[in-house]
Amino acid sequence: MFRSILTRLALLTAFAFAQTLPAAHATDASTDPTEHAAVKPRLPQGAVLHREQYDAAAADAHIVTYNERLSTYNTRFGLPGNWSDRVLERLKGPESMAGRHRLRETLERLGLPSR
């Protein structure tokens, strides 16, 4: 149950972030052809688009397939785990944030305050 709740939280967080920064994911036509890269699989629209009310069953229906797709992608690039495992690892707490929990403090120290 806890894993399911965290997975749903991650879905909501990913969706909210994607809605706030849509231009940040624009494709750059000048990518380096020598770099080993590919288009990362995304959660299907049915997992993140909800009309009027969040539908946990609709979101959960896509997780198994997405885990398989992302695990295959990750293996190609030497990354461990599937999507759920990686998300849960990132949600453990400040120790799993690689310093991101101190970002605001660092920006303010550099004279770049945020709202």
In a domain, 21, yes or no: no
What is the value of pTM for the model shown?
A: 0.56
Q: State pLDDT tens for residues 50-91.
A: 999 999 998 999 999 999 999 999 999 888 889 999 889 888
Q: Are 11 and 48 in contact (CB under 8 A)?
A: yes
Q: Which domain holds residue 92?
A: 2-10+38-109
In a domain, 75, yes or no: yes
C-alpha distances in Å from residue 97, one per residue of 70, 92, 94, 102: 21, 8, 5, 9
3-state secondary structure of 113: coil
In a domain, 115, yes or no: no
Q: Are 40 and 96 in contact (CB under 8 A)?
A: no
What is the 3 state secondary structure string of 7-34?
HHHHHHHHHHHHHHCHHHHCCCCCCCCC
As a whole number of angstroms, the distance between CA 46 and CA 62 comes to 8
In a domain, 15, yes or no: no
Q: State pLDDT tens for residues 22-42.
A: 444 455 556 667 777 788 899
